[in-house]
Amino acid sequence: MRILGLDLGSRTCGVSVSDALGMIARAYKTVRFEEEDYDSALEQIVEIINELQIHKAVLGLPKHMNGDIGIRGEISIAFKESLEQLGIEVILWDERLTTVAAEKILIAADVSRKKRKKVIDQMAAVQILQSYLDSQN
């Protein structure tokens, strides 16, 4: 059973997916939507969920460095609740520094700035999902 990883932003949502054994996360795609149009984001994510027959998702929960949950975190919690109403199990996962880690990986791989911008959300979603998968194995 594959698991979806999600890194929700204000205009994009990075999507990753695990292998069938739930051991390795890989980049899948970046969902783009109008700023703050989370209904559109939800529709596109639901299409992916149906296409890949997903029953569980790991959604990044942005927190401040002191652990507080701000507006972005509240948006993620609301997004989680919307997915759960559709019958998807959603785990919120602390995403602090995942984008930074993804950026470092892409720089180390000598990916150009232009290409990094296109895939950074997917790579952050991979970081979120892989850290969850590692915690389970």
Q: What's this model's pTM, rounded to 2 decimal places? A: 0.86
Q: Which stretches within 18-112 are classed as H helix? A: 38-52, 71-84, 98-108
**Are 18 and 25 spatial neighbours (Cβ–Cβ below 8 Å)?**
yes
Paired tokens of 101: 């880690």
pLDDT at 108 over 80: no
Task: Quote the pLDDT of residue 125.
Answer: 92
**Domain boundaries, given as residue ranges, for the chain:** 3-136
Going by pLDDT thresholds of 50, 70 and 90, the confidence category of residue 55 is: very high
State whether residue 84 is helix, strand or coil: helix
CATH code of 3-136, in short, is 3.30.420.140
Task: Quote the pLDDT of residue 26.
Answer: 96
pLDDT at 78 over 90: yes
Distance of alpha carbon 62 from alpha carbon 129, whole angstroms: 14
Distance of alpha carbon 18 from alpha carbon 3, whole angstroms: 5
pLDDT at 64 over 70: no
105 vs 7: which has the higher pLDDT? 7
What are the residues facing 60 on neighbouring strands?
93
Across the range 102-112, mean pLDDT stands at 70
Task: Quote the pLDDT of residue 70.
Answer: 80
**Are 91 and 97 spatial neighbours (Cβ–Cβ below 8 Å)?**
no
Task: Quote the pLDDT of residue 65.
Answer: 66
pLDDT at 63 over 80: no
Percent of the chain beyond pLDDT 90? 65
Task: Quote the pLDDT of residue 98.
Answer: 67
